[in-house]
Amino acid sequence: ATICVMDIGDMIAHKLVAVMDRKHPANRDLFDIHYFLSSPVATETNY
């Protein structure tokens, strides 16, 4: 069986949109963005 998942660039983009769409920022979104942007993969992603 095959499981489809998002690639890292799409996950970063969705987290950035989630922070902007929420009325109140969620700590988990801020942590996830910090984690993603701190990773080596972030330098390979076009924003």
pLDDT for 1-47, tens place per residue? 899 898 888 888 899 999 999 998 889 989 999 998 888 887 776 66
CA–chain centroid gap for 42, Å, is: 10
Residue 40 lies in a domain: yes
Domain that holds residue 25: 8-44
The string of pLDDT tens digits covering residues 36-45 is: 888 888 777 6
Residue 3 lies in a domain: no
Residue 34 lies in a domain: yes
Residue 1 lies in a domain: no
Residue 39 lies in a domain: yes
Instruction: Write down the pTM of the prediction.
Output: 0.68
Q: How many domains does the chain have?
A: 1
Residue 2 lies in a domain: no
32, 34, 15, 36: CA torsion to nearest 10: -80
Query: Can you tell me the distance from the alpha carbon of 40 to that of 47, in angstroms, rounded to the nearest whole number?
Result: 15
